[in-house]
Structure 1
Amino acid sequence: MTTQTILPVNAEALKALSASKQEPAWLTESRLESLELAGQLELPKLEKQRIEKWAINSYGQFKEGASLASLDDLPEHVAKLVAGSREGGLVIQRNSGAVHASLSPELAAKGVIFTDLQTAVREHADLVKPYLHQAVKRDEHSMAALHAALWNGGVFLYVPKNVEVDAPLQAIFLVDDAEATFAPHVLVVAEANSQVTYVDNYVSDSLSAPITHNGAVEVFVKNGAKVRYATVHQLAEGATDVTFRRAVIDNDASIEWIVGEMNDGDTASDTMSILKGNGSTSDAKVIAVGSGSQKINYTTQAKHFGKSSASQMITRAVMREEAQAIINGITKIEKGATKADGQQTERVLMLSPKARGDANPILLIDEDDVTAGHAASVGQVNQEQIHYLMSRGISRRVAESLIIYGFLAPVVSEIPLEGLRDQLQGLVERKLGQ
């Protein structure tokens, strides 16, 4: 059965919007072609879940945000997130457009580009055009096509050959208007032997109406380059968050994903590493806490094409109240990817009899000379551990907290910014009602 996609804009309105933003002709054409595709393709297929039953059609309208006169004008909870990033590089999007973009003169002098993608398509088209929509393909499904038609704001990060960026570069994606289209696109290109850490936060205030975030991330890691990508999503209950992340990794290059899924609304994400090059590596760590009646579907994938490529995937999810989580890990080793090594672990901890968790480890191996393994578990808090801690004078509430934090520690401890780690710890405590 084919599900009809409801298009939130027609071709004429989209063409007019593109013209009003002074976008190049190639981008306008790309948007229009993508909109046509969106009306023809089916919705993405989620494992054991029907996304068509979710609130995925609340796109609103494009609303240009006013540039910030000063970072001091940011809401207090957002200002705390950027306190340590004012000297390196910082991009802030509010609703449909960027309101701030800055980069240190030292990094700019080295050829680093860090700005909103909307600006980059005008000023750096020669660097953007070859990569845009090449990792998250427009024809994957209707939501990918619709994102390609409607994306706004976003981030473009370009690191030249042999340049190492020591301090993390940060972006904030803030939505506080439920009537505004919110669809940032992140594009990262790390040239050969470069190194960079990028961190972003998706944040919302309480929303007056439902909103759909349809986001995409594309990362291209060239020969010998290293990219660390950390992201935390903390959108309010009224937001449905659907995000597709893809990284293409060349010879002897590496990607490290650190993903904190702390939304209060229904959430689906698909994070894939395409290990194209020989000796390429991918390390993905995902932490999630579900509460209320949330429905959560997380997929982490590694596709091995290169010889001696290696992937590691670790997902930790804690579900409370009536939250439901489906956690998928997919390791695919293609024919010819000899000496590849793919490992994955998915673990779900349930804190309530009504909470549900489903861990699905999948290995697809088309080559004999490889190493691959998986582990998965779904269960309640270990009562023996609680009783042991209580016998040492610790209250039940504190004992449960210690076990939960120990369960999540393999991911939390890897967050590259101390402020972000503290923020994530606070989000875990909030979602656990502590």
Structure 2
Amino acid sequence: MSIQLSTPTDRQSAEALARSKGEPEWLVALRGEAAELAATLGWPKPEKMNIEKWNLTAVGAYEQAVAVGSASELPEVVRELVTDGTENILVQQNSGAVYGKLSAELAAKGVIFTDLETACKEHGELVQKYLFQALKKEEDKLTALHAALWNGGVFLYVPKNVEVEVPLQAILATTKAEASFAPHILIVADSHSRVTYVDNVVAAHNDANAYVHHAGVEVFVGPGAVVRFGSIHQLSEGGVDLTLRRAVIDNDGRIEWIISDLNDGATLSDTSSLLKGNGSSSDAKVISIGKNSQQMSITTRAVHFGLSSESDMITRAVMKDSATAIINGITKIEKGATKANGQQTERVLMLSPKARGDANPILLIDEDDVKAGHAASVGQVNPEQVYYLMSRGISKAEAERLIIYGFLIPVVTEIPIDAVREQLERVLERKLG
């Protein structure tokens, strides 16, 4: 089944699509309200980047997913990413989930790991409590459009005091440029729980085809809980990747972001931690590589509300050819967040005189008794380091590759799944080749 939607969509078509999928009435109403908002709001305006020049309207048509019985039936580009022996995996292809597994052990502990559309039907009361509470549908046209049209997605719930020892993996793939691809990831970690989640966002179709991946991520970290969230994006040149991530962290909770934006097309990546609780903490590590005439807006943000809350942000970007990257780091310490500590570092490595990389550290401090700091740099490969390696018998090209890889290693080593980390290394080799 395929239903074409215009952009911005209208309430009637959004509600019709929701009802055709058998969604509960509360979700039908939410989509309708969001569709109306999308018609009235403006697109987001990231620092120094006019995304309205991008192809934002190629959202595609909803395509009903066809489930497969085993991983062997998945497209090759997806099979390559499936970790051998995993018992906990979810796969979305285009507009919906097609494959999923959850170990009996985790299910017995009350862990829920399924696609979000299914969760809205089977765990509606739980999902409704959190859905679009961190990422507000009324924020701008992008959030409203996403709330109206999201499909497939991921729902992960970890009950109180449950520690999930093995990482959970999701693979989100677009195999048809004309099919809507708009996953929404919702993670809820109850008090004193612990979980690691990693996803891959990948394209498997002609680079020349235009398409939009508009995605939303909401993470709710309960008191004393820890969530590690890893994500590797590698969409093709024709794609526009619009991904907004929000985490809300309660007392003594912790979020760890590991974000790899390795697309070949235009990228808007916005990752925010809202440190609501006392003693809450956030650690964000982001890498990005730009090539050709690619444009990227990468924003990492921490907003401190809680006493003694802490945040750290590290962003590393490598720019080739005539690519452009605007790297924003924003630390906001609200009035009353005494003893807060916010640190950030943005570094951009330029490999071409035509490439552009702006590092913009921003500190917004409304409280006196706090610590905050930033460091930012934009530079080229150090010729002395190249010379030293060449003096050891290494070619110039290999020397530069090693230096670049060393520049990115603080993030690469943080990927919690060996197979995913190896896959990331292969992507880096391709983009730096």
Band the TM-score falls in, shorter-chain normalisation = over 0.9
Name the CA distance, whole Å, in 1 between partners of 2:194 and 2:148: 31
Match of 1:411 in 2: 411
Correspondence 1:109 to 2:145: no
Name the CA distance, whole Å, in 2 between partners of 1:195 and 1:313: 21
Name the CA distance, whole Å, in 1 between partners of 2:174 and 2:240: 12
Match of 2:356 in 1: 356
Name the CA distance, whole Å, in 2 between partners of 1:155 and 1:380: 40
Match of 1:320 in 2: 320
What are the superposed Cα offsets for residues 96-122 of structure 1, whole Å, 9 maximum, x if unpaired? 011012211110000000000000000
How far residue 8 of structure 1 moved from its aligned partner, in angstroms, is 4.7
Say whether the 8 Å CA contact 2:187–2:218 is kept in structure 1.
Answer: yes
Q: Could you tell me which amino acid in structure 1 is paired with residue 292 of structure 2?
A: G
How far residue 350 of structure 1 moved from its aligned partner, in angstroms, is 0.7
Match of 1:337 in 2: 337
Match of 2:157 in 1: 158
Match of 2:190 in 1: 191
How far residue 418 of structure 1 moved from its aligned partner, in angstroms, is 0.8
Name the CA distance, whole Å, in 1 between partners of 2:263 and 2:363: 29
1:3-402 correspondence to structure 2 within 5 Å? 7-84=7-84, 86-87=86-87, 89-207=88-206, 209-402=209-402
How far residue 199 of structure 1 moved from its aligned partner, in angstroms, is 0.4
What are the superposed Cα offsets for residues 135-168 of structure 1, whole Å, 9 maximum, x if unpaired? 0001110000000000000000000000000000
Q: Could you tell me which amino acid in structure 2 is paired with residue 234 of structure 1?
A: Q
Q: Which blocks of at least 5 consecutive residues in structure 1 are unaligned?
A: 1-5
How far residue 312 of structure 1 moved from its aligned partner, in angstroms, is 0.3
Q: Could you tell me which amino acid in structure 2 is paired with residue 342 of structure 1?
A: G
Could you list the structure 1 runs, at least 4 aligned residues long, displaced by more than 4 angstroms after superposition: none
What are the superposed Cα offsets for residues 357-385 of structure 1, whole Å, 9 maximum, x if unpaired? 00000000011100110000001111111
What are the superposed Cα offsets for residues 27-67 of structure 1, whole Å, 9 maximum, x if unpaired? 00000000000011111011001110011110111001211
How far residue 85 of structure 1 moved from its aligned partner, in angstroms, is 5.7
Say whether the 8 Å CA contact 1:319–1:325 is kept in structure 2.
Answer: yes
How far residue 75 of structure 1 moved from its aligned partner, in angstroms, is 2.4
What are the superposed Cα offsets for residues 374-404 of structure 1, whole Å, 9 maximum, x if unpaired? 0000011111111111112111011101100
TM-score under structure 1 normalisation?
Answer: 0.97
What are the superposed Cα offsets for residues 389-432 of structure 1, whole Å, 9 maximum, x if unpaired? 11121110111011001100111011101111111111111001
Match of 2:3 in 1: none
How far residue 330 of structure 1 moved from its aligned partner, in angstroms, is 0.1
Residues 338 and 84 (structure 1), Cα distance of their counterparts in 2 relative to 1, 3 Å cut: farther
Name the CA distance, whole Å, in 2 between partners of 1:286 and 1:177: 28
TM-score under structure 2 normalisation?
Answer: 0.97
SS state at 1:247 partner:
strand
Name the CA distance, whole Å, in 2 between partners of 1:80 and 1:209: 23
SS state at 2:315 partner:
strand
Worse overlay, 52-61 or 199-208: 199-208
Name the CA distance, whole Å, in 2 between partners of 1:8 and 1:72: 38
Say whether the 8 Å CA contact 1:8–1:59 is kept in structure 2.
Answer: no
Name the CA distance, whole Å, in 1 between partners of 2:77 and 2:147: 30
Say whether the 8 Å CA contact 1:285–1:313 is kept in structure 2.
Answer: yes
Say whether the 8 Å CA contact 1:218–1:247 is kept in structure 2.
Answer: yes
Worse overlay, 78-87 or 35-44: 78-87
Q: Could you tell me which amino acid in structure 2 is paired with residue 34 of structure 1?
A: A
Name the CA distance, whole Å, in 2 between partners of 1:324 and 1:173: 26
Say whether the 8 Å CA contact 2:236–2:265 is kept in structure 1.
Answer: yes
Say whether the 8 Å CA contact 1:85–1:170 is kept in structure 2.
Answer: no
What are the superposed Cα offsets for residues 310-347 of structure 1, whole Å, 9 maximum, x if unpaired? 00000000011111100000000001101100000000
Question: What percent of counterpart residues are identical?
Answer: 62
What are the superposed Cα offsets for residues 277-319 of structure 1, whole Å, 9 maximum, x if unpaired? 0000000000111111100000000000000000000000001
How far residue 70 of structure 1 moved from its aligned partner, in angstroms, is 1.6
How far residue 15 of structure 1 moved from its aligned partner, in angstroms, is 1.9
How far residue 21 of structure 1 moved from its aligned partner, in angstroms, is 0.8
Say whether the 8 Å CA contact 2:136–2:143 is kept in structure 1.
Answer: yes
Name the CA distance, whole Å, in 2 between partners of 1:429 and 1:231: 18
How far residue 232 of structure 1 moved from its aligned partner, in angstroms, is 0.4
Query: Aligned-residue CA RMSD in angstroms?
Result: 1.0
Say whether the 8 Å CA contact 1:85–1:169 is kept in structure 2.
Answer: no
SS state at 2:129 partner:
coil
Name the CA distance, whole Å, in 2 between partners of 1:37 and 1:16: 17
SS state at 1:83 partner:
coil
SS state at 1:35 partner:
helix
Q: Could you tell me which amino acid in structure 2 is paired with residue 51 of structure 1?
A: I
Name the CA distance, whole Å, in 2 between partners of 1:169 and 1:380: 37
SS state at 1:259 partner:
strand
Q: Could you tell me which amino acid in structure 2 is paired with residue 304 of structure 1?
A: H
SS state at 1:130 partner:
helix
How far residue 81 of structure 1 moved from its aligned partner, in angstroms, is 1.3
SS state at 2:130 partner:
coil
Say whether the 8 Å CA contact 2:333–2:366 is kept in structure 1.
Answer: yes
Say whether the 8 Å CA contact 1:8–1:60 is kept in structure 2.
Answer: no
What are the superposed Cα offsets for residues 202-225 of structure 1, whole Å, 9 maximum, x if unpaired? 010133520011110000000000
How far residue 354 of structure 1 moved from its aligned partner, in angstroms, is 0.8
How far residue 10 of structure 1 moved from its aligned partner, in angstroms, is 3.1
Match of 1:3 in 2: none
Q: Could you tell me which amino acid in structure 1 is paired with residue 182 of structure 2?
A: A
Name the CA distance, whole Å, in 2 between partners of 1:74 and 1:8: 32
How far residue 78 of structure 1 moved from its aligned partner, in angstroms, is 1.7
